[in-house]
Structure 1
Amino acid sequence: MYTNKLHAGARFPEVEATLLNGEITPLSRPSGDRDWKLVLVYRGKHCPLCTKYLNELEQHIPSLHAAGVDVIAVSGDSKEQLETHLEKLNVSFPLAYGLTQEQMQALGLYISVPRSEKETDHNFAEPGLFVINQDGNIQVVDISNNPFVRPSLSELVSGVNWIRAPENNYPIRGTFR
């Protein structure tokens, strides 16, 4: 299967997901007074590395918010799976569920078939991370085909802070076609 990768600098697709309270939320739009958005796609509750990464991300939320970056994490899990996953999560940022296979493809994510029913009951997205700027364009993108390779959150936050500093005038990288 081939995937259609999203390019740095491209407009982030209009993809919506559902929050636990039932609210449908656009993934790309920041809330409150923040003007950038970090969208983290994780595999689902079956993935212990995702649980660890989400809990680690929580430690960086104050720095991201101070930099004007809103955060959301989303998976293809059901509402029930997300509710069960909350038992292992200690996060304050919004979690969304129900990402469809078509939405995963629109985001250019790698999609895996479960190895067994013990793993999960649906095809799921492999990890993806998108930082969307104030214009709705992809400033930073990281897409993996497995849970073992993900960006260091400390380095990501440091980098976002550096990019956002006006004196650095740092452009979106990787846009040569």
Structure 2
Amino acid sequence: MSVKLNAGDTFPTINVTKSDGDTVTLGQPRECFSWQAVFVYRGRHCPLCTRYLNDLANYKEQFEKAGVDIIAVSADSKSQMQEQLQEISINFPIAYGLTEEQMKTLGVYVSTPRSEQETDHNFAEPGLFVVNEEGKLHVVDISNNPFVRPELGALANGLNWIRDPKNNYPIRGTLAY
């Protein structure tokens, strides 16, 4: 049985390595931001992830307008992530090395590769975790396959609306059973 993070939960402490070699704690935004959106992606082997990461770069400014930092992370190795960087044009941090224990902590679905040609390790299916200034999970979306992910324009607009103080929008879905 898998355990899923619930809206309103404190986001767990998970450290990963960014493409520049620095270690980063997921859910802790860079200095000029108060929130962070953590995008978990399947890895280099997934063409839909490549497309999604490239598309995400187009929305970076809208996320920043809402005060939301973005980072993407996968279970890929350093070399696989470096290969991925050749296929994407991004303007946000990307990290690698998400372990199976960390995937379990996040509650994302985990898949085994269909073949050695696909990849050489179990990998996370897509997940999105938006962590607010209190370290609480404000928005969560996980999928068990690569075909279902948040539409980035709607997500960016929604986060801008949520973050607008006049809307006083609380964390929704906190009654998880």
Q: Same fold, TM exceeding 0.5? A: yes
Aligned to 1:142: 141
Q: Distance between the aligned counterparts of 1:147 and 1:61, measured in 2?
A: 21
Q: Distance between the aligned counterparts of 1:119 and 1:139, measured in 2?
A: 33
Post-superposition offset of 1:23: 1.0
SS at match of 1:96: strand
Q: Distance between the aligned counterparts of 2:18 and 2:150, measured in 1?
A: 25
Unaligned runs of 5+ in 1: none
Letter of the 2:3 partner, please give it: N
Give the aligned CA root-mean-square deviation in angstroms: 0.7
Aligned to 2:90: 91
Give the count of matched residue pairs: 176
Aligned to 2:123: 124
SS at match of 2:69: strand
Aligned to 2:6: 7
Letter of the 1:80 partner, please give it: S
Post-superposition offset of 1:106: 0.2
Q: Distance between the aligned counterparts of 1:24 and 1:36, measured in 2?
A: 18
Q: Distance between the aligned counterparts of 2:8 and 2:150, measured in 1?
A: 19
Unaligned runs of 5+ in 2: none
Residue 41 in 1 paired to residue 40 in 2? yes
Q: Is the CA contact 2:108–2:127 (under 8 Å) kept in the aligned structure 1?
A: yes
TM-score by length of structure 1 reads: 0.98
SS at match of 1:83: helix
Aligned to 1:151: 150
Q: Is the CA contact 2:65–2:160 (under 8 Å) kept in the aligned structure 1?
A: no
Q: Distance between the aligned counterparts of 1:54 and 1:19, measured in 2?
A: 15
